[in-house]
């Protein structure tokens, strides 16, 4: 059983390797691509399950030659700190198993303060990220009802930064461009790097002037002297 894998396509822009700890996610994000990517209906996908034998498989994969110093992202098609995930200790055990194999952790979540429980076991070389989509709680409740509130995600990034953990923000999908620019302005003091994309898999995204947004985002990030990555989908407009 091989569970640490090399992402393909757009996902590979985020990290060289990844592992998904759960089947499905109960955040219920309206924009989520993962149900289609995993060939599940949204109803089925919204009822997550533990991956059988996942910790043992991680230990096996991370113990292979050449894995020391590699970076593994948790997770692409699930959230390591969704409400369901926080009812288990699998994420904590996965982090420790990867560390035992000499692997660095890169976390991406919408879990907000649920994530803080594992900050004490993160090490130098690990990274912690949150997906930031909205500032308004009502917007977030509509589009990502099971995710932590925007305020909780921002507070979590502040806490991680104060503890010396490398922080990053995934600005994707960009549903309200002006909101995303506002997020950068409000979080740049404690977010070490921004990864900026666009909005895919929805025809409403065609109504957005991506060249205008991308230009404004790059100008702002340079002004703030922040590290950033523009995803290829957005870079094509620049």
What is the DSSP pairing of strand 193-196 with strand 227-230?
A: parallel
Strand partners, 23: 49
Residue 1 has pLDDT above 70, yes or no: no
Residue the block writes with tokens 């104060």: 162
- 175-231 pLDDT tens trace: 999 999 999 999 999 999 999 999 998 999 999 999 999 999 999 999 999 999 999
pLDDT (0 to 100) of residue 14: 82
Q: What local confidence, expressed as pLDDT, does residue 2 receive?
A: 87
User: What pTM, to 2 d.p., does this model score?
Assistant: 0.95
Within the chain, what is the greatest distance between any pair of CA atoms? 48
Give the start-to-end residue ranges of the domains of the chain. Answer: 9-235
**Cβ atoms of residues 70 and 44 within 8 Å:** no
Phi and psi torsions of 142, nearest 5°: -75, -45
**49 three-state secondary structure:** strand
* SS3 label, residue 103: coil
- Assigned token pair, 1: 């059983």
The mean pLDDT value for 129-156 works out to: 98
Domain 9-235 is of which CATH architecture? Alpha-Beta Barrel (3.20)
For residue 45, CA distances in Å to 28, 42, 69, 115, 145 come to 9, 5, 33, 22, 15
What was the pLDDT predicted at 21? 97
CA distance linking residue 106 with residue 47, whole number of Å? 25
């Amino acid at each position: 059983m091989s569970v640490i894998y090399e992402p393909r396509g757009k996902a590979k822009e985020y990290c060289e390797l990844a592992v998904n700890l759960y089947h499905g996610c109960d955040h219920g994000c309206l924009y989520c691509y993962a149900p289609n990517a995993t060939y599940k209906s949204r109803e089925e996908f919204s009822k997550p399950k533990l991956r059988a034998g996942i910790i043992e498989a991680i230990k096996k994969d991370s113990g292979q030659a050449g894995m020391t110093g590699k970076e593994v992202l948790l997770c692409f098609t699930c959230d390591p700190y969704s409400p369901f995930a926080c009812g288990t200790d699998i994420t904590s055990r996965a982090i420790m198993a990867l560390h035992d194999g000499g692997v660095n952790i890169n976390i991406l979540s919408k879990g907000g303060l649920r994530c803080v429980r594992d900050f004490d076991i993160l090490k130098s070389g690990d990274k912690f990220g949150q997906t930031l989509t909205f500032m308004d709680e009502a917007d977030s409740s509509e589009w990502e009802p099971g995710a932590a509130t925007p305020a909780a995600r921002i507070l979590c990034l502040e806490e991680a930064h104060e503890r010396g953990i490398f922080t990053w923000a995934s600005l994707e999908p960009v549903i309200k461009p002006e909101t995303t620019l506002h997020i950068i302005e409000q979080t740049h003091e404690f977010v070490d790097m921004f990864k900026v994309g666009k909005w895919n898999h929805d025809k409403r995204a065609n109504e957005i002037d991506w060249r205008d947004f991308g230009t404004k985002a790059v100008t702002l990030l340079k002004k703030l002297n922040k590290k950033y990555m523009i995803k290829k989908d957005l870079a094509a407009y620049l």
